[in-house]
Amino acid sequence: MTDLIVILILLILIGAAVSYIIKAKKSGVKCIGCPAGGNCPSSRKLPKKKLAGPVLGKEIIKISGMTCDHCAASVTAALNQIEGVSADVRLAKGSAVVSYDREIADSVLRDAVEKRGYKVTGIIKG
């Protein structure tokens, strides 16, 4: 009897998951499971942001939670919105190389990434 109950619960969970995926795809969600709810920027190549002044430094931000190109584009957009920052996000490495033309506090970079639903696991001065 216990086995039957467990099987029924599993069937209900699998049915709900399949239903969710079908509904999400029909509504146009590009990235199911994405922390941004599938509404992050498209996977089109974002233009590289030009800095106003000479590059003063670079940092590598280690990021967890990025699972697709949409996630990388979302992080790129978040970092590039910061004045004086140009970011190159590398999904395969789970990191972003950030160039800056003025002093930027690590907390500003961390907040921009984490507001998009990802986790900064480290920042390496480079």
Segment 32-61, tens digit of pLDDT: 666 555 555 554 566 778 888 888 899 999
- Whole-model pTM: value is 0.66
Taking the CB of residue 90, how many other CB atoms lie within 10 A of it? 13
pLDDT for the residue 115: 92
pLDDT, the chain, mean = 85
- Its CATH architecture, for the domain 57-125, is 2-Layer Sandwich (3.30)
User: Cα separation of 88 and 46, whole Å?
Assistant: 10
CATH 3.30.70.100 domain span(s) along the chain: 57-125
pLDDT for the residue 126: 73
> Which mean pLDDT values do the consecutive 10-residue runs of the chain (126 residues) have?
92 91 75 60 64 88 89 90 92 93 92 93 89
pLDDT for the residue 36: 57
